[in-house]
A = this chain, B = another copy of it.
Amino acid sequence: MADTHRVVIIGGGFGGLSAAKRLKHAPVDVTLIDRCNYHLFQPLLYQVATGALSPANIAAPLRNVLKNQRNTKVLLAEATRIDAEGRRVILSDGEIPYDTLIVATGSSHQYFGHDEWEKFAPGLKTVEDATDMRRRILLAFETAEREPDAAKCAAWMTFVVVGGGPTGVELAGTLGEIAHDTLKHDFRKINPSQARILLVEATDRVLPPFPPPLSEAARKMLTRLGVTVRTGAMVMNIEDGAVTIREGERTETIPTRTILWAAGVLASPLGRMLAQQAGATLDKVGRVVVEPDLTVPGHSEIFVVGDLANFSHQTGKPLPGVAPPAIQAGRYVAETIERRISGKQIAPFHYFDHGNLATIGRAAAVADLGWLRLCGFPAWVIWLFIHLLNIVEFQNRLLVLVQWAWLYFTRDRSARLITGKNPLPLDL
């Protein structure tokens, strides 16, 4: 067994997990390394942040997913460095040698050089981010209910979402639903439906990757949900209790106690490691510029898949940082490894684009399938089925279905718990 080909995969997201699964019958030893013990279905993370689903509903324990795959080990560990010369991954508590390495560590959010904004405007990438965001949103209403000062109360009732991409649109739309429907009868002093929800986007429209008519449809649906959409608005400053935006010449400071960040993306630090250790080139958000076969130039034994890769060979632009390209890339790399072992020829990676979906709220979504553009209810039904079918583990699919059906008919979100370190006394 000593000379079995060793494949090490860093990251159990869509890219890493699909590569691991596709290697099930390959004559290799697979080690999947992740900091978390679960695969997270990130497209639905905003539903955890807004109290519709529980974290476990969108997370599948990696060991469970791979338990019947005898050539595969799961390692709960953090990869801190890649020694490309010595062909080993350095962990925070050990090291692990590889013959082939797949790096699939994705991305996190960035604040365009203003890291000090993070504590006032948290982003949404992990389960902990989601429960923290849920806590902030629910505590804002709780604090407003008890705040006697009208101006302070208004700041607690103002929610600013920064970034008009899919995550920002989903968060803002859902906040609109929470304020207008979910919490309608919950309070005695405040009226949650008077909450002010702002979506701030720097470009001239929301959902920039979509065709302009669908962006316009999304804007209308957001407005109907009570969201004020501010396009062409740059965030100039974020501080405790306020956000300052500039629209053209006009600068405005908005008092708010809840700012949610859905704007900048920064590739994982392992990209920089590949630049230092393997001579990889990074683009301006830190993604690794890969060859047509997804390898690092000069290192045919190192593959990069998912958000961390900049693959521009097909369209001249990097593939979007969403699940389908990551899944397809993971499978392609697994097949490439198998073909190499059996000495077969390998074609370059080709991404098959099935289209683009974004949801805004209840029965409201946009779908760009290339040959067909939809918005409203039909797009939402497509969104629903695609997400439901892609959730890993049958039990979670069932639980999500039950909760969505409940949410649809009652508009109630039962997972709205304030958890975490004791939040009392409220910061009035």
In the complex, the answer to whether B419 meets A127 with C-beta atoms within 8 Å is yes
A418 to chain B minimum Cβ distance, whole angstroms, is: 5
Give A182 Cβ to nearest chain B Cβ, in Å. Answer: 9
Contact A185 B68 (CB under 8 A): yes
At the interface, yes or no: A414 with Cβ under 8 Å from chain B? Answer: yes
Inter-subunit contact B416/A61 (CB<8 Å): yes
Given A54-B55, A56-B417, also A64-B186 (CB < 8 A): yes
- For A62, the closest partner residue in chain B by CB is B186
- Which chain A residues numbered 132 to 189 have a C-beta less than 8 Å away from chain B? 138, 142, 146, 183, 185-188
Query: How far apart sit A97 and B67, CA to CA, in the bound complex (Å)?
Result: 58
- Chain B nearest CB from A412 CB (Å) reads 7
Q: How many copies does the complex hold?
A: 2
Contact for A64 among B78, B127, B414, CB less than 8 A: B414
Q: Is A403 an interface residue (CB 8 A)?
A: yes
Decide if A91 touches B425 in the complex (CB within 8 Å): yes
Q: Which of A73-123 contact B (CB under 8 A)?
A: 73-78, 91-94
Q: Which residues of B contact A128 (CB under 8 A)?
A: 419-420
In the bound complex, what is the Cα–Cα distance between A74 and B186 (angstroms)? 9
Complexed CA–CA distance, A239 and B142 (Å): 40
**How big is the A interface, by class?**
35 or more
A76-B426 in contact (CB<8A): yes
Assess whether A142 is in contact with B37, with CB atoms less than 8 Å apart.
yes
Q: Which residues from B are CB-within-8-Å of A425?
A: 77-78, 91-93
Q: Does A36 contact B (CB under 8 A)?
A: yes
Q: Which residues of B contact A142 (CB under 8 A)?
A: 37, 76
Residues of B close to A410: CB separation below 8 A: 395
Given contacts A54-B56, A418-B37, contact A92 B424 (CB under 8 A): yes
Q: Which residues of A (375-407) have their CB < 8 Å from a CB of B?
A: 393, 395-396, 398-399, 402-403, 406
Q: Are B36 and A418 in contact (CB under 8 A)?
A: yes
Least distance between A156 CB and chain B CB atoms (Å):
13
B residues less than 8 Å from A36 (CB atoms) = 417-418
Known: A395-B414, A425-B92. A67 touches B186 (CB 8 A): yes
Question: 1/0 per residue A364-384: CB within 8 Å of B?
Answer: 000000000000000000000
Among residues of B, the one whose C-beta sits closest to the C-beta of A183 is B63
Q: Is A422 an interface residue (CB 8 A)?
A: yes
> Lowest 8 CB-CB distances: which A-B pairs, in order?
A54-B54, A56-B415, A93-B425, A63-B186, A92-B425, A67-B185, A76-B142, A54-B56
**Chain A positions near chain B (C-beta within 8 angstroms):** 35-38, 54-57, 59-61, 63-64, 67-68, 73-78, 91-94, 127-128, 131, 138, 142, 146, 183, 185-188, 393, 395-396, 398-399, 402-403, 406, 410, 412, 414-420, 422, 424-426, 428
Apart from the given pairs A54-B415, A67-B186, 11 other A-B contacts in the complex at a CB distance below 8 Å: A54-B57, A56-B415, A75-B146, A77-B424, A93-B146, A128-B420, A131-B419, A393-B414, A395-B402, A396-B414, A398-B402
Interface CB pairs A-B, < 8 A, 21: A35-B422, A36-B417, A37-B138, A37-B416, A37-B417, A54-B56, A56-B414, A61-B186, A68-B185, A74-B186, A76-B146, A76-B426, A77-B146, A93-B424, A93-B428, A94-B146, A128-B419, A131-B419, A393-B414, A395-B402, A399-B403
